[in-house]
Amino acid sequence: MPDSEDSPSSDLWPVDGWDEPGDPIEEEESHRGAFGGYGGESGGLIERTFRERIILVGVTLDGGDDEETHAMLDELALLVDTAGADAVKRVHQRRASPDPATYIGKGKVQEMKELAEAVDCDTVVFDDELSPAQQFNLEKILGRTALDRTAVILDIFAQNASTLEGKAQVELAQLRYRLPRLRGSGRKLSQQGGGIGTRGPGETQLEVDRRRLVRRVHKLEADLRQVQSHRATQSKQRSRTRNRAVAFVGYTNAGKSSLLNRLTDADVLVEDRLFATLDATTRRLPLPGGETVFATDTVGFIRKLPHQLVTAFKTTLDVVRDADLLVHVVDGSGPDPVGSMDAVRDVLEEIGAGDVPELLVFNKSDRGDTSRILAERYEGSVAASAISGQNLDLLLEKIGDRLRSMTELAELLIPWDRGDVLASVHREGQVLSESPEESGMRLKARLEPASMGALRDYLVQHESGSDAPIEETAPS
């Protein structure tokens, strides 16, 4: 009985047991595109010797929204452009569920092949993640490279990683993506032995390649664990200074680096493109109340952020989970600010930072009234502009107020012969008032809970921070 349009053909890679393809399949010569080719000396997944021509594919499944799919394709087009290629055509399909063999069904793949030949495209990029079997089958039918959103994002990260840590994290993510997609030449490249006990098929090249990549993965994981250990040591040292930590988080290209530069003269790379900066940068940020906090710029988030990246960047994202306050920067001029906020919060939940207090900042208020309107909708938020400097003083005041709300207000009476204790209060807290008395110095100060325990012998009165945290909730 002939195959139906959406059923996997017998000459395709089986869906079950795809990691053991068995005998080699003679593939047709691929199209010239090298976007996504594995191996070689390039650190990315794109061959940038020319601007490749790309077809984008988006699928709306049951319960999905066509408008959302088109919005995701718009974002995918920006990703492809950032990666160094041109999107020349878009294809949209509605399906009840993904086809196990080709994701879009064999009939649709044949249509895609005709379209690819008509527009002379080099690569087809799907907005959804493809399984290794689906990718293999698509490439066999299309005669050109088939990639998913994850591969494009990994390539952009490979272009932008600059530090040793960043490069190691990106390489680890790429290897985890490539391992299940390794395709050898079966027994054709078997290693033959020459002595007793070594005759037979031996070890295939596929197994050699897989073992080599696994060794490299283990090496990178060990290196990053060492980096994580160093970060933990630095975090302990910083905690002894009693300085609070603030992490700037947000959707990619929301303006986090621009804000940090404007507030601290950090000199972080700023470009109007996706994922311009990947490496965390920490600077001291003085607040209007006299306190100094550690402010860290972090990697930007995006919808459908590959799990491989979240795992590989764990050492970098630990600074987000350990922060006292998250300054959530939102592009107020973007096409979907609320959707980007939800995407960032999903990633924060995934890395265990969903409970860290959050301060919303709607950036780019110089581009229109949207930032101001959003700030009015979300109580306690700020509309600001890193370019014009609008409301940055208010932002610093908000950061200070939120951090002070996490401290405790105490009244202490310190004897005159304990000048060391008086000095520690000034060093570790915010002194609000002082009044000399016969028995010692009476003062009011905001202190960290840890400091309160050390000063309990001198307490006259204390209470929790009077500035309660403000919950940012949108009106119904």
Instruction: Compute the distance between CA of residue 2 and CA of residue 4 in angstroms, rounded to an integer.
Output: 6
Q: Are 24 and 188 in contact (CB under 8 A)?
A: yes
What single-letter amino acid sits at 328?
H
User: pLDDT: is 130 or 304 the higher one?
Assistant: 130
Q: Are 55 and 125 in contact (CB under 8 A)?
A: yes
Whole-number pLDDT of residue 197: 52
What are the distances in angstroms from CA 123 to CA 57, 94, 115? 11, 21, 12
Q: Are 306 and 313 in contact (CB under 8 A)?
A: no
**Is the pTM higher than 0.75?**
no
- Identify the top-confidence range among 7-11, 83-87, 90-94: 90-94
What are the distances in angstroms from CA 78 to CA 9, 97, 209, 281, 431? 34, 26, 33, 25, 50
Whole-number pLDDT of residue 317: 81
For residue 442, name the pLDDT band (cuts at 50, 70, 90): very high
Domains in the chain: ranges and CATH: 52-158 (3.40.50.11060), 243-404 (3.40.50.300), 408-464 (3.30.70)
Q: What's the pLDDT tens digit per position in 134-148? A: 999 999 999 999 999
Strand partners, 376: none
How many CB atoms within 10 Å of residue 455? Answer: 19
Q: Look at residues 450, 414, 456, 454 and name the one whose alpha carbon lies nearest to residue 431.
A: 414
Q: Look at residues 21, 3, 59, 46 and name the one whose alpha carbon lies nearest to residue 140.
A: 21
Does residue 288 have a pLDDT over 80? yes
- By residue count, the chain amounts to 476
Instruction: Compute the distance between CA of residue 226 and CA of residue 222 in angstroms, rounded to an integer.
Output: 6
SS3 of 137, please?
A: helix
Whole-number pLDDT of residue 185: 44
The first and second tokens of residue 206, run together, are 């596929």
Q: What's the pLDDT tens digit per position in 305-339? A: 887 778 777 767 888 888 999 999 999 998 889 99
Does residue 283 have a pLDDT over 90? no
DSSP line for 17-49: TTT---S---PPPPPS--TT--SSS-SSS--TT
Instruction: Compute the distance between CA of residue 367 and CA of residue 67 in angstroms, rounded to an integer.
Output: 25
Whole-number pLDDT of residue 303: 86
End-to-end distance of the chain based on CA atoms, in angstroms? 56
Instruction: Compute the distance between CA of residue 119 and CA of residue 135 in angstroms, rounded to an integer.
Output: 21
What are the distances in angstroms from CA 98 to CA 101, 110, 111, 311? 9, 16, 17, 26
Instruction: Compute the distance between CA of residue 23 and CA of residue 41 in angstroms, rounded to an integer.
Output: 28
Does residue 105 have a pLDDT over 80? yes
Whole-number pLDDT of residue 265: 78
DSSP line for 164-211: HHHHHHHHHHHHHHHGGG----GGGG-B---STT--SS-B-HHHHHHH
Whole-number pLDDT of residue 47: 54
